[in-house]
Structure 1
Amino acid sequence: MADWIETNGTILRVAVEGEGPPLVLVHEIGGTLESYDAVVPALARTHRVVRYDMRGCGLSEFNVAPITLPLLVNDLLGILDAYDLRRVSVAGCAAGAAVAIGLALDHPARVHKVVAMSPALQVPPEKKAAVLARADAFEGEGLRPTQDARMASSYPEALRGDRARFDRIRRQRLAANPYGIAGLLRMLARLDMTRRLPELRHPMLVMAGIHDGDRPPQVVKPIADAVPGARYMEIESGHFMPMQTPDAIIAALTDFLSPTS
């Protein structure tokens, strides 16, 4: 069952399940802690799984102040302190991977292992104006006008064999807070974590989706190459891996997080 905590000047919805070494799951832009519904039951058999709605997302508080990566990292740090979690493995999808990596970079003693799925760590200079324009459009028009076009890139036809799953995820994303998404997009447009990747010294798994039109393998692999000793994996998935291909994510995380890995 989810709870709400107050930390770092905001209210965050948090869910904790299972017993064992702590594992934190950080969702993507437009997602919520429910982004991990399909993988948590299996992961919670061996881990204490912590997931939460980032500020401005789901049922966490929306603040009008600009969102920055240090702010999101401090939100996560506040969750760890609230639940007395001294050292955790952390997995993030897309912009959630930026938060996971940010925690490892700025608070290395608090992190054991890192998993980055379809990591979104920067926006190329030639695409920044379009990302900022999209943020403005979401605030002015909502998400519906561009939803199908965005899903065509992040959740292409090749992955829509389970139509009920696709329809459910489409509805979840349409129901997201457009103002929270806009704030996170502006944060991403200002972000460039690539220069700091060689500083990472944690065991790290970087995952790319073969069908991901937003962060394809040719964008993701250089991230793994920049991290000393990082493991790289390509899977038959898209941009929302834990929702689209949960069995593959369960298998990959279970193997990587194993004490013998």
Structure 2
Amino acid sequence: MSAAGAPGHARTTRRGGVVVRTVDSDPRSPRPLVVLLPRWGAPGGADFWALAPMLATRYRTVVVEVSTTDGGTAGEDGATLPAIETALTAVRGHGAAHLVGFSSGAATAVALAVRNPGWTASATLVAGWATTDPHQRLTSRLAGEVADRPGARQAWSALSAFTPEFLAGRTEEEVRTLLERCAWLATVPDLDVADQLGRLRVPTFVVACTADVLAPPRHARLLAGAVPHSRYAEVAAGHGVLTERPSEVFDHLDRFLRDTAARTPGTVPALHA
């Protein structure tokens, strides 16, 4: 089984102390290539376990996992981006790729698209933000305070990531699975890609989560407003939208990928939050 929860071809690339693992749904597929970029330090299977198999029914889907040999957190600059680029060159050959970044992975998608406009077909930013603000730092600080108490850390992550309505409808067994899957979801890393947004020249789709307390919708609106070729949509979910409403995200993403020029840049539907 792959990191995405479905059979796939795994490849590991090492460069400059960074380890990049890619899991390809079908290396021989002629379908458009979609590259999934998870949160910093998170295994792709933790974020894209539901979305990746859906995408793989219509696209060649590659899940990326990034780690460092010294145990640190790989970010959006330094040695990380060249390592991801090397890994993606091996995966895509001379073809283009649609980048999909979730949470802090959206910053990775921005940086990669700005550095590589020639092979980036589009960029989708789900529950992302341009610059970490004081509210997010406080949230992450609280997560750090309970880091050495696994039960408390898991509970805080779940309460931060999911809406009350979603959690209320889960069985006890489902809640236990969620707690294991979202153990570090409430950790918000410091990042700043604000100065790169105006240089993002590929079709860009920004997805906001209306009940997101880790990256509130204002962050997505700022992203959409700063990117020259952006489209925008909202999903009624918390930061854990890929677990809470994966089908809705897939529907939005599929419509965008089928024709990245179909929706007029700057389009913003009625805002709900």
Which moves more between the two structures, 160-169 or 77-86? 160-169
The structure with the largest helix share of the pair is: 1
Q: Does residue 1:168 correspond to 2:177, yes or no?
A: yes
Give 1:62 deviation, angstroms: 4.6
Equivalent residues of 1:117, 1:207 under 8 A apart: yes
Which moves more between the two structures, 227-236 or 12-21? 12-21
The one-letter amino acid of 1:54's match is V
Which moves more between the two structures, 29-38 or 197-206? 29-38
Give 1:220 deviation, angstroms: 1.6
Give 1:85 deviation, angstroms: 3.7
State the aligned residue count. 245
Partner Cα distance (1:135, 1:67) in 2: 18
Q: Does residue 1:23 correspond to 2:23, yes or no?
A: no
Q: Give SS of 2:252's match.
A: helix
TM-score by length of 1: 0.82
Q: Does residue 1:74 correspond to 2:85, yes or no?
A: no
Partner Cα distance (1:119, 1:84) in 2: 25
Partner of 2:240: 240
Partner Cα distance (1:246, 1:134) in 2: 25
Q: Does residue 1:3 correspond to 2:10, yes or no?
A: yes
Equivalent residues of 1:21, 1:48 under 8 A apart: yes
Partner Cα distance (1:74, 1:148) in 2: 36
The one-letter amino acid of 2:33's match is P
Correspondent of 1:42 among 54, 66, 69: 54
Which moves more between the two structures, 226-235 or 82-91? 82-91
Q: What are the superposed Cα offsets for residues 93-141 of structure 1, whole Å, 9 maximum, x if unpaired?
A: 1011111111011222121111100003321156547746855863xx2
The one-letter amino acid of 1:205's match is F
Partner Cα distance (1:168, 1:65) in 2: 26
Partner Cα distance (1:133, 1:63) in 2: 25
Equivalent residues of 1:90, 1:100 under 8 A apart: yes
Give 1:225 deviation, angstroms: 0.9
Correspondent of 2:100 among 45, 70, 91: 91
Partner of 1:58: none
Name the CA shift for 1:128/1:238 in 2 (closer, same or farther; >3 Å): closer
TM-score by length of 2: 0.78
Partner Cα distance (1:120, 1:142) in 2: 28
Name the CA shift for 1:247/1:75 in 2 (closer, same or farther; >3 Å): same
Q: Give SS of 1:69's match.
A: coil
Partner Cα distance (1:125, 1:152) in 2: 20
Alignment gaps of 5+ in structure 2 = 1-7, 263-273
Partner Cα distance (1:62, 1:142) in 2: 25
Which moves more between the two structures, 148-157 or 245-254? 148-157
Q: Does residue 1:120 correspond to 2:129, yes or no?
A: yes
Partner of 1:109: 118
Q: Does residue 1:32 correspond to 2:32, yes or no?
A: no
Equivalent residues of 1:212, 1:238 under 8 A apart: yes
Give 1:6 deviation, angstroms: 2.4
Correspondent of 2:160 among 135, 153, 158: 153
Q: Give SS of 1:83's match.
A: helix
Which moves more between the two structures, 249-258 or 238-247? 238-247
Q: Give SS of 1:251's match.
A: helix
RMSD between aligned residues:
2.7
Name the CA shift for 1:85/1:243 in 2 (closer, same or farther; >3 Å): farther
Q: What are the superposed Cα offsets for residues 190-248 of structure 1, whole Å, 9 maximum, x if unpaired?
A: x2111221111111110111121111212221111111131111112221222221110
Partner Cα distance (2:115, 2:128) in 1: 18
Name the CA shift for 1:151/1:217 in 2 (closer, same or farther; >3 Å): same
Partner Cα distance (2:242, 2:222) in 1: 22
Give 1:63 deviation, angstroms: 2.2
Q: Give SS of 2:202's match.
A: coil
Partner of 1:51: 63
Equivalent residues of 2:238, 2:244 under 8 A apart: yes
Partner of 2:211: 211
Equivalent residues of 1:26, 1:99 under 8 A apart: yes
